[in-house]
Structure 1
Amino acid sequence: MAAATTTTPSTTLTMKLLVDSSPLRRRVVFAEAGKDTVDFLFSLLALPAGTAVKLLGKESMVGCMANIYGSAERLEDPYVQPGAAKDAILCAAMPPPAAARPNSWIFPLPVPAPKSFFHCGTNYSSCRSYVTEVRGTGCPNCGNQMVIDAKLIESPALVALVRTGFVQGGMVAYTVTDDLVITPMSNVSTIALLNTCGVRDLGTLQERTVQIGHKEGLEILTSSLQSKTVLTDVFLGKKPPSSMKNGGSTPQLGGTRHESLTWRV
């Protein structure tokens, strides 16, 4: 299996929270986010399940996914198909948007080395249907070694997604609710959302700007798998997600957060 490199996050993302500070209902009503932050949230959909378990730690997973991961991890080689690598299941590599937009992917995920493909050098039309990743493989049609480099043409849609992200940027802003419903921001939708959330006293609302780095990204991922109040759980510490491994430590997500909040009341 080709060696994989690792992308390292170069910066943090920001998000503006509108917080209901009333003592009995302290919560995030909704947040305002730009393109890079929204691209990060949508990129969670592309995260392989095995990589999510590896990032968060088996102890943090609810349900049975950690058991599947542990079973694959413990499976001895005689029971694994010849040529199959455990890493393909336990930490599936994927090309993240960070390849071109470092702000929209904040996890240091493995990125696979580019693959090489080879085809037969004969001029038989029936040989042209075959390519291989292993140089020197015998052509199924003529038996000659497949040693001629073949170039893989990427899908234009995939290339555009990697280079530009998923959503429009510029002057466009997005509303992110506490349960991670993402919509384009507008004055009308904001007023409707305040009414839907039952906000009666506008004087209790405060604006806070938070930063999302690697640690906060992991907390958002964990909470999104367990809770319907993700932003409140992560940034106000109302209901901490399960503990998870992070560089050998086990952070507790409850209590007051100091390192990632910039208060703007």
Structure 2
Amino acid sequence: MASSSANLTLKLLIDTKRDKVLFAEASKSVVDFFLNLLCLPISSVIRLLSKNEMVGCLGNLYESVENLNDTYMQPDTNKDVLLKPIAPISSAAISGLLPSNVNRSDKREETKFYRCPCHDDYVTCNSRTICPIQYCGNRMTSEMKYVDDNEVAEDVLPNKNGFVKEVVTYMIMDDLVITPMSTISSITLLNKFNVKEVGALEEKVVELGMKEGVNLLKASLQSKMVLTNVFIKNKTET
């Protein structure tokens, strides 16, 4: 895990007088990581951050499903559909930024699919289902081979090329607004932040590992100063 994310870095521009990250220069892979957060099912986020660290009551909802006896669940329904949904990862290069319990390693190997012995128009997860073809009446008992989700990931999900193109450097704001970077946009932002003394600005390169990935996810749910909270305030508090 760690090795896949070892080359991911952010170049921060910090206002040292206010202890605030103004913006960060980021590569395509880093932007892909942030965009991939939008793909995470909420159950995966809860498991990753742990129920006690969740803001609001979603942690309680998750724990309620955990504690609910299978007797109360619908037949042929597995609680893992709610507790461990599949979370697509767009690129192997960014998967090392989050623990495996939120990536596609949650395989549904126990899932089986069936079709009618005479017709292949429909598929079901229940081998007791009657074929819906008119005048057929056969049970759909012919088991079909299940293709692992990793094998179809490149066809169904964004492949190893990720989400954005690699032709430019990207700018990530403290509140996670992301735009292509340019000299003009940088100067405009300095005016916007009312920076009077260029000498008070400091460039700092930080590495992104699994710890930072989890902290960025957590901060993005709780704050509009994500980069500042993760890379400045957390550092000064430890």
Normalised-by-shorter TM-score class: 0.7 to 0.9
| 1:218 counterpart = 2:214 | yes
Q: Counting strand residues as a fraction of each chain, which structure ranks higher?
A: 1
Which runs of structure 2 are paired with 1:4-83 in the superposition (5 Å)? 8=1, 10-12=3-5, 13-22=8-17, 25-83=18-76
Instruction: For 1:82 and 1:116, locate their aligned partners in 2 and report how far apart those are by CA, in whole Å.
Output: 15
State the one-letter code of the partner of 2:66: E
The C-alpha deviation readout for 1:40-85, integer Å capped at 9, x for no partner, is 0000001111110100011111112112112212212222222222
Q: Which residue of 2 aligns with 1:103?
A: 93
Give 1:163 deviation, angstroms: 2.7
Q: CA separation of 1:66/1:78 partners in 2, compared to 1, >3 Å: closer, same or farther?
A: same
Which residues of structure 1 form unaligned runs of 5+? Answer: 1-7, 238-252, 258-265
| 1:200 counterpart = 2:196 | yes
Q: Is the 8 A contact 1:138 1:146 kept in 2?
A: no
State the one-letter code of the partner of 2:176: L
Q: Is the 8 A contact 1:95 1:111 kept in 2?
A: no
Q: Is the 8 A contact 2:26 2:169 kept in 1?
A: yes
Which runs of structure 2 are paired with 1:122-201 in the superposition (5 Å)? 122=118, 127-133=119-125, 139-141=131-133, 142=136, 143=138, 145-147=140-142, 149=144, 158-159=156-157, 161-169=158-166, 171-201=167-197
Instruction: For 1:77 and 1:148, locate their aligned partners in 2 and report how far apart those are by CA, in whole Å.
Output: 25
State the one-letter code of the partner of 1:85: N
Instruction: For 1:229 and 1:144, locate their aligned partners in 2 and report how far apart those are by CA, in whole Å.
Output: 57
Q: Counting helix residues as a fraction of each chain, which structure ranks higher?
A: 2
Q: Report the TM-score, using the length of structure 1 for normalisation.
A: 0.75
What number of residue pairs does the alignment pair up? Answer: 224
Which residues of structure 2 form unaligned runs of 5+? Answer: none
Higher relative contact order (CA 8 A, sep 6+): 2
Q: Which residue of 2 aligns with 1:229?
A: 225
Give percent identity, aligned residues only. 40
The C-alpha deviation readout for 1:226-252, integer Å capped at 9, x for no partner, is 101000000001xxxxxxxxxxxxxxx
Q: Which stretch shows the higher mean deviation, 219-228 or 146-155?
A: 146-155
State the one-letter code of the partner of 1:129: D
CA RMSD of aligned residues (A): 2.7
State the one-letter code of the partner of 1:181: V
Q: Is the 8 A contact 2:44 2:87 kept in 1?
A: no
| 1:112 counterpart = 2:113 | no
Secondary structure at the aligned position of 1:112 is classed as coil
Q: Report the TM-score, using the length of structure 2 for normalisation.
A: 0.83
State the one-letter code of the partner of 1:111: D
Instruction: For 1:197 and 1:158, locate their aligned partners in 2 and report how far apart those are by CA, in whole Å.
Output: 42
State the one-letter code of the partner of 2:51: K
Secondary structure at the aligned position of 1:162 is classed as coil
